[in-house]
Amino acid sequence: MSPPAPVSGIAAPAGLARLRASFSQTGRTLAMVWRSSPGGTVALAALTLVAAAIPPAIAYVGKIIIDVVMAARADHSAVWWVGVELGLVVVSAAAERALGLVRTIVGSRLGIDVNVMILQKALTLELRHFENPEFYDKLTRARREASIRPLSLIQENFQILRNSLTLAGYIAFLVSFSGWTVLALLVATIPAFVAEARFSGAAFRMRNWRSPEARRLNYLEYVIANDEHAKEVKLFGLGPLLLGRYRALAEQFYRDDKALAVRRAFWAYGLSLLSTIAFYGCYAAIAVATVRGRISIGEMTLCVVAFRQGQQAFQSILAAVGGMYEDNLYMSNLFDYLAIPQATARAPVEVAAPAAVGQGIAFEDVGFRYPDSDVWALRHVTLVIPQGQSLALVGSNGAGKTTFIKLLTRLYEPTEGRITLDGRDLRDWDETALRRRIGVIFQDFNQYQLLLRENIGVGSVEHLEQKDRIERAVERGGAREMVAGLGDGLDSQLGRWFKSGVELSGGQWQKVALARAFMREEADILVLDEPTAALDAEAEHAVFQRFRTLAAGRTTILISHRFPTVRMADTILVLDKGEVVERGTHEELLAAGARYAQLFALQARGYL
């Protein structure tokens, strides 16, 4: 891995078009913050105005105090003006505290809302996005600092407003002394701003460039310190290998960050000296003017304070503009992620829950290629699965069996051809209505770190709290004895991530997944992708005996490598390299003596 081209010196800033584009996210971010916390946004604006007005007022009151003291008046006006300054300081401190409080509250609210937006967007995306590494790069960029950048951008806007108002007050004082001091104040600060903006852009580009490697770093950390991988890491002695890779990648990140930080600090220090020299040059001019009697001691003090704090205000403005530039760059990542296009869905046809008699499922010359792949995962698949019949899919790994199921459940749409259910193209169905008709368990089912009842109930979320339904699903999935053997029964916490969690065996988890599939009692299509792979022969036989009973009248699609299971299907489809090479009943395929018969014979010899 080699870092992007380093930033050497302070090359000329980008053109105006690029600069405008860099700030293009400000309006959208302001709208986002307003939607998240309108009251907090108003409070930030009001407190910013108060905080902006006080520093020039304090400086002017200080000038009056000095002039009163120098005049050696006998009255108590100096004390009175000291009291005024004290009051202003108290109000300023209160405003600063209130600003900090409001920023904290708005930031907390905004952090939650932005992360919810990111997750909501994830729920709207298709399976193809989650199987694409470029999507994860976008997600990583969007999530990185997403909870702090919107508030930071708004704070920069208010900081600019605040310091602009403060600066305007100081400039009014300085103009009365000399317009050259104002010009020096403004010009001396600009080079440092240009350098800071330049390095902010470099930091952003470097972090974006290494998003894939950042994900790799997170993955290595996950593998080293997660229960899912702990057994193999220890058994195979993978720890030193993985830790070595983690350390090498982290050290590369450190070197890149250090190099950029050193260059940034060098230029920032060198260019900040211009501001310091300008200040002391003006300081000397003000001192000479005071000695010559052109201004009073109080006016000298006011000019020095105005120049020093005015310069700081202007530096703060430019720093805020630089911060806005950087924040806009990071916000562009968030908005790019939120703008990921979704498939244009057809207008759904209102379809009632399953009819007693339907036309079944039909694949019409269906072909499919995964995104960014030139290889056909399925091609020229044509078949009809009548309502209430069973289909078994047979083939080697990679033959297209799971892809077949993904298309049927509309996790993907065909690249060519179409799939119909009861005569309607799947793309014309409302997704919720369609998936309510299908009960499915994939081979790589999820093992949720939730309660057992929740692990089963998620198979039909709308019935998550219905205990009777969950218990029926447990019975149908063959998990009754397993549930009874757990101390807290259905209320047992599964997994080791949380306190009192129970880790199940592979076969027990598979029973949980089967029960989850049976939660959809209304489903008239049952899909099982290697549903008994982790079960012993006795448990497998019991599951399929129940399955045959429960599947009566329903359309069933089964993927299995075990021929005693496959032979029960009405039709067996043999896939090879994405194409249908055989179809028929168990007896017909054995009689044909082709691919199916060869696979059956191989497995049969394993039992001899």
User: Which residues in 428-561 belong to E strands, given as ranges?
Assistant: 438-441, 525-529, 555-559
71 contact partners, CB below 8 Å, separation of at least 6:
none
576 contact partners, CB below 8 Å, separation of at least 6:
395, 396, 399, 595
> Can you read off the two tokens belonging to residue 536?
């012993």
Give the position of tokens 């045959």. 548
464 contact partners, CB below 8 Å, separation of at least 6:
454, 457, 458
- Is the C-alpha dihedral spanning 345, 351, 352, 353 positive or negative? negative
Structural domain 25-338, CATH architecture: Up-down Bundle (1.20)
CA–CA distance, 192 with 204 (Å, rounded to integer): 18
Strand pairing category for 424-425 and 416-421: antiparallel
CA–CA distance, 516 with 496 (Å, rounded to integer): 20
CA–CA distance, 148 with 475 (Å, rounded to integer): 49
Instruction: Count Cβ atoms within 10 A of the Cβ of residue 212 and give its class: 0-12 exposed, 13-18 middle, 19 or more buried.
Output: middle
Strand pairing category for 361-369 and 376-385: antiparallel
Given this model, what pLDDT does residue 462 score?
84
Given this model, what pLDDT does residue 118 score?
81
Amino acid at 130: F
382 contact partners, CB below 8 Å, separation of at least 6:
363, 364, 365, 366, 417, 580
C-beta of residue 166 within 8 angstroms of C-beta of residue 49? no
CA–CA distance, 235 with 239 (Å, rounded to integer): 10
Given this model, what pLDDT does residue 88 score?
86
C-beta of residue 396 within 8 angstroms of C-beta of residue 595? no
Given this model, what pLDDT does residue 460 score?
84
C-beta of residue 397 within 8 angstroms of C-beta of residue 418? no
* Other beta carbons within 10 Å of 563: 20
> What single DSSP character describes residue 373?
-
Q: List beta partners, residue 377.
A: none
Closest CA to 587 of 599, 598, 572: 572
C-beta of residue 322 within 8 angstroms of C-beta of residue 200? yes
Q: Where are the domains of the chain?
A: 25-338, 361-605
226 contact partners, CB below 8 Å, separation of at least 6:
none
Amino acid at 503: E
596 contact partners, CB below 8 Å, separation of at least 6:
394, 572, 574, 582, 589, 590
Given this model, what pLDDT does residue 372 score?
78
Helix, strand or coil for residue 284?
helix
Given this model, what pLDDT does residue 554 score?
84
Amino acid at 553: G
pLDDT tens, residue by residue, 198-210: 776 666 666 666 6
Query: Does the pTM of the predicted model rise above 0.75?
Result: no
Supply the DSSP string of 108-175, one letter for each residue.
HHHHHHHHHHHHHHHHHS-HHHHT-HHHHHHHHHHHTTTTTHHHHHHHHHHHHHHHHHHHHHHHHHHH
Low-confidence ranges of the chain (pLDDT < 50): 1-19, 348-357, 608
> What single DSSP character describes residue 367?
E
SS3 per-residue string spanning 2-25: CCCCCCCCCCCCCCHHHHHHHCCC
Instruction: Count Cβ atoms within 10 A of the Cβ of residue 506 and give its class: 0-12 exposed, 13-18 middle, 19 or more buried.
Output: exposed
Which fold is adopted by the domain 361-605?
Rossmann fold (3.40.50)
CA–CA distance, 570 with 391 (Å, rounded to integer): 6
With b for 16 or more beta-carbon neighbours within 10 A and e for fewer, the 164-178 pattern comes to: ebbbebbbebbeebe
CA–CA distance, 495 with 254 (Å, rounded to integer): 35
CA–CA distance, 419 with 427 (Å, rounded to integer): 8
